[in-house]
Structure 1
Amino acid sequence: MTKSSLPEPGEQINHYVSSEPFDPLAAEKLTPEQEKFYFASQRQLIWWKFKRHKLAVYSAAFLLFCYFVITFAEFFAPYDLAHRHVNHIYAPPQGIHLFEDGEFVGPRVYQRVRTLNLEVMKREYSVNYDKSYAINFFCKGDPYKLWGLFDGDRHLFCVEDGGSLFLLGTDRLGRDMFSRIIYGARISITIGLLGIAVSFILGITIGGLAGYYGGWVDVVVQRIIEVLQSIPSIPLWMALAAILPVTWSPILIYFGITIILGLLDWTGLARAVRSKLLSLREEDYVLASQLMGAKPRRIILRHLIPGFMSHLIASATITIPAMILGETSLSFLGLGLRPPVTSWGVLLNEAQNINVVVLYPWLILPVVPVILVILAFNFMGDGLRDAADPYN
């Protein structure tokens, strides 16, 4: 519209209005991608943001693989947990070979020849390249009882009769380290899950009461948390673990260590729950629930806790590595799990002697899965925390 065509003051301007009807929805029409985003649930938004964190996704896949393996540990381990190879005590790790004389022959291992060096009183193993054994898959091996219910003898891989297969060497009793690491993962990884269950129950309950009621309840809870957090963790773990009677069965020792780890790791979660509830309890929907006669337990569990459940999930993935480290440290020092129970800490207990580590360095290999699992939990926790953060 030019300046000369502008209407005079008081003149009707109806003829300047377009004759086409105005559609307010047309101006705000969403593309399919925008519509998918705006109508997505909170769970979908968290999943989309989590997938962008590639390292967290790879870590989650690695952890799922670990839990799948320990579920069928008897199948994945080539030997039974207590199978002793008396002719292969302190045998070093074996290499797998795919070619012979330039031709592909499949995975094979060469024969090991043991000799005793009387000068240093040490068993020495040499490789006989003239004799090799094929590695078979889905073959019969040591019998086992899967989950204590089903009899079986099939293993993922094993060596043909007459040969030996020690991918990570053997220990002082001739037991395969690779098989024992797989069996030990079942204890070390699950103890974190059981411990976090105890920690969550205590943290949500105590922190929820402190945040919802406030006042003297909050003051008492905060003082208890400060006292517990002021005590060094490792000495406190050692003192409490030493109380467990040596006459207890391995199962009782396992649950005792789990409860100890859960009792000591609830303080951080309780503070997080308290701070969230202090801010959420002033919301209108909480007041509406109170006016309708809802009890505090229902308000906390049905209305307040779900409001920051994603934060609790992220906290759990960060707390589990601390519990795995706690069990490994206690067992390494001889104050946690004890044989015949096998965990990564129990396996590392045999590597306390520096002379043994120098002579047989493969005994310290159980520390590798400890590092990998803890790093995977931390990376996955970072990804979940960023995905659950509404301001990210």
Structure 2
Amino acid sequence: MAFVVRTVKTIRTHWKKSIFFSGLTVYGVKWLHDRHNDNLLRRKYCDEAKRYGDDTIGLGHRPRRVTVFLNPAANGGKARKLFEKTAAPILYVAGIEVTVVSTEYEGQVKNFMTVLDTKDTDAVVVAGGNGTLLEAVTGFLRKEDRSFRDNIPVGVIPLGSSNRFSKTIFGHDQDSVKAIADAAIAVVRAVTKKVDVIKFDGGGERVIYGLTGLEMGAYRDAEERKTKYWYFGPLKSRWTYLRIAMKNWPPLSSADLSYIQATSENMAFVDEETKQQMQPRKVGWSFTDFLFGRKQKYLVQEQAQKEELAIEEEKQRIDENVSTTELTVTTTTLANPKAPLNALQVTFGPVEPTRTELIQEGWDRINRSGFQMGSVGDQTRVVKTVHIAPSEKTEWFNIDGESFEAMKVNVSLLQRKLNFFCPAEMANETR
């Protein structure tokens, strides 16, 4: 009883210190509890991976080989620790032969992709943020070896700060450990789905291949600038939108758009196997077939049909000048998984928003879960292809979350172009 009395007196006498240390104790207990739960989660995924590793392989066969491109600089330099603590054990206990390539400079992943061959690996895993994945996808699509991209699936380990594309596959409402573990176990399970790729062609060698889309305008600029206001702590994002509303009003971006509207006919997807079946079969011998080759003759006819179709589509091209707070390009199926047509979706926001509307929309985006480009009520164009010509040379694009100097660019959709590891429930999705 005396101990209790002394304790109460001490708390009453030193109440400020008591509150401080009580808060510190609660924080410490919660931290230990969270770490314990994370370790239990890691063990759960490793137990599943071990069942794959315990499977025997036949004589003359070899374990699966996976090449991991790890960007240790992602997420403020925390990427390597996150990978080694959560993803790597899952891959190793599954009996996978893992080769980890740590990147040291920008563009290195694209260079590696040019020399990587199907004899070197059975899968490629990108462990990093948006920029690392963008490099890998661009390297994949630039390869001349078509069999490589057809036969080598891609995995994504989300180690960056935003991880846009990964969230469209594995979900948005996940903590860091579960998101990484889900991505790693997807590589182990080897379940894949075909994913659309967006091509951004600036002419010459300035070609980029992305997965989520393009952004231009005030909201893109705000996201880019918020790191400059780090001294505001958790309020830096809100302050950024206040700052934009107070300075250089109205924050409008102008661009000339030229696009071809999408239809079910011009967006019809034909896979390579179907194309092979559509080729005329040889039923007899002729001197023409012998001289020129039947297949070459078919290819010439197919090219002529494509050129004729392109001429007809150009006659239907629509030109439009827009002045807006935001311009975005993504796919209809990312914007709405139940969209009836798989095509590009161009959106642009209001021309004259009020300061309050811009600030409120920016603040709403801070806590937004789920993938969304643009704002509710934006004007929308569903297109097959679009040419964007920014009016101001000072504009910047965001492509898959990475900044690029704005330029004239042709945007088109490459349907079901790459195989990505995914959860089992997504494997049967058609797009």
TM-score range for the pair, normalised by the shorter chain length? under 0.3
TM-score, normalized by length of structure 2? Answer: 0.24
Specify which structure has the higher proportion of strand. Answer: 2
Specify which structure has the higher proportion of helix. Answer: 1
Look at both structures and tell me which one has the larger radius of gyration over its CA atoms: 1
TM-score, normalized by length of structure 1? Answer: 0.26
